[in-house]
């Protein structure tokens, strides 16, 4: 195992040091302003030495001019004093004029025709959230989809699936384990994945789980790695280079390592993880599953650089998630967030795809059901990344067709009985 910390952290430190310098310069300006204010106040006091000191107004006490007693308003602040007040955050006539101008501008703006946005949705739609966001699915996937998704959120959010680690346990052994511990299970379209129907104890605390003989992972999340053509990799008769571009917590990383071992393929695997605190979790999961040949690079997938070319790239990109995986999803998301995630995903694919070898395979996936992050991004990748979208040769047992002729698999919770998911495959 090797671990490399990104040099980009240095840039972050330099940025922080510059920000401290800017803060000190700002404090210096405020100090100069206070000095000038004190000088003006002393001059004014000398000119008005015949006034009663009890009626003098201390302009450092944070009060507005409008709150002064009428008998003191004859000492109206000068323009320079108003400037000093504005610096300290006090309300002045200048501020009032600015606010009136802004209201006037807003009123004019209301009469303007709505501007057309370059995004998939106009600006008002970008703020859709809650039920408005849910109702979009009727437009995308047919009438009644929104109510079916609500039902799926209640029915399938607690579904449990496990993936058997074939490097430590075979399928006969897992059957014996289920029978011995009276675990009710259901087979799935993946041979080493099982749905847990009922158990009389916490499987996650079992010795088999703690020692990495099986791993809790949603069924749809297990699909991307199964889209890789392992027979093709084996026929290369050389060391295969694999890159996991968004690795932590390691579900797909460990799954890829397991299947490479199962097919007896020599490999070099590199995993990228942006957050340093998540690197430890990634390392622990990989080692718990019994693997020690891997390299982790702590950097952003958008900044990753290398001279290597990879035969397989797995990109399970950061996404907006879905309502089955998170019961509060509708209260936290809007279309604007989704569009921002889609742009981040494009940046990641644009950078990472440069390191795909000729005839290499890139697997793109999200745990989202939003077209902006899925079909729209697939079309963008085809147009901008010199990649060809190919059909996934995997029988999933239900309708997992994509929108607008895109090649891939779309998992809608009410059809797949899993979390929402999307996966598409590219070759160079």
User: How far are the Cα atoms of 164, 209, 214 from residue 168, in angstroms, in the given order?
Assistant: 8, 11, 8
Please state, in angstroms and rounded to a whole number, the distance separating the CA atoms of residues 347 and 271. Answer: 18
> 427 forms bridges with which residues in the sheet?
361, 388
CB 389 within 8 A of CB 425: yes
Question: Residues near 181 by Cβ (< 8 Å), separated by ≥ 6?
Answer: 199, 200, 201, 206
DSSP of 279-299: HHHHHHHHHHTT----EEEES
Taking the CA atoms of residue 373, residue 254, residue 282 and residue 13 in that order, the dihedral angle to the nearest 10 degrees is -60
Question: Residues near 135 by Cβ (< 8 Å), separated by ≥ 6?
Answer: 146
Q: Measured in Å, how far apart are the chain's first and last C-alpha atoms?
A: 29
CB 211 within 8 A of CB 182: no
Please state, in angstroms and rounded to a whole number, the distance separating the CA atoms of residues 60 and 385. Answer: 61
Residue in the block written with tokens 């035969």: 311
User: How far are the Cα atoms of 87, 234, 259, 355 from residue 311, in angstroms, in the given order?
Assistant: 59, 11, 15, 9
Which DSSP category does 250 fall into? -
CB 311 within 8 A of CB 234: no
Q: Which of 246, 339, 367, 385 is catalytic?
A: 367
> 316 forms bridges with which residues in the sheet?
365
367 is catalytic: yes
Residue in the block written with tokens 């000190």: 24
Cα-flanking dihedrals φ and ψ of residue 389, to 5°? -80, 125
Task: List the one residue out of 285, 284, 254 whose CA is nearest residue 269.
Answer: 254
Q: So which residues are the catalytic ones?
A: 367
């Amino acid at each position: 195992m090797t671990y490399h910390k990104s040099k980009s952290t240095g840039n972050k430190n330099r940025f922080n040091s510059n920000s401290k310098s800017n803060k000190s310069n700002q404090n210096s300006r405020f100090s100069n302003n206070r000095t000038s204010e004190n000088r003006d106040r002393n001059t004014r006091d000398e000119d008005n030495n015949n006034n009663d000191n009890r009626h003098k107004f201390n302009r450092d006490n944070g009060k507005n001019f409008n709150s002064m007693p009428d008998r003191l308003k004859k000492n109206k602040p000068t323009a320079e004093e108003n400037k000093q007040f504005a610096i300290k955050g006090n309300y002045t006539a200048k501020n009032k004029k600015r606010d009136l101008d802004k209201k006037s501008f807003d009123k004019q703006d209301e009469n303007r025709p709505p501007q057309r946005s370059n995004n998939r949705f106009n600006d008002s739609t970008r703020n859709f959230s809650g039920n408005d966001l849910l109702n979009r699915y009727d437009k995308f996937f047919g009438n009644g989809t929104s109510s079916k998704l609500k039902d799926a959120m209640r029915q399938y959010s607690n579904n449990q699936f496990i993936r058997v680690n074939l490097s430590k346990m075979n399928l006969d052994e897992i059957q014996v384990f289920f029978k011995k511990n009276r675990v009710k299970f259901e087979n799935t379209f993946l041979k080493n994945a099982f749905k847990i129907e009922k158990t009389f104890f916490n499987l996650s605390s079992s010795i088999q789980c703690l020692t990495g003989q099986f791993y809790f992972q949603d069924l749809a999340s297990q699909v991307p790695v199964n889209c890789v053509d392992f027979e093709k990799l084996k026929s290369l008769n050389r060391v295969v280079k694999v890159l996991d571009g968004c690795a932590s917590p390691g579900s797909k990383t460990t799954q890829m390592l397991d299947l490479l071992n199962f097919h007896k393929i020599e490999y070099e695997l590199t995993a990228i993880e942006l957050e340093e605190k998540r690197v430890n979790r990634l390392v622990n999961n990989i080692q718990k599953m019994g693997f020690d040949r891997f390299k982790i690079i702590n950097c952003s997938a958008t900044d990753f650089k290398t001279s290597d070319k990879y035969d397989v790239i797995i990109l399970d990109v950061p996404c907006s998630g879905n309502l089955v995986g998170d019961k509060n999803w509708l209260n936290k998301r809007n279309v604007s967030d989704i569009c921002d995630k889609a742009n981040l995903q494009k940046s990641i694919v644009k950078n990472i795809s440069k390191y795909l070898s000729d005839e290499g395979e890139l697997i793109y996936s999200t745990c989202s059901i939003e077209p902006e992050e899925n079909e729209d991004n697939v079309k963008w990748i085809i147009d901008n990344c010199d990649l060809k979208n190919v059909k996934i040769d995997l029988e999933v047992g239900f309708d997992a067709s994509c929108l607008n002729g895109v090649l891939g698999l779309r998992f809608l919770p009410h059809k797949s009985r899993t979390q929402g998911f999307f996966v598409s495959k590219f070759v160079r």
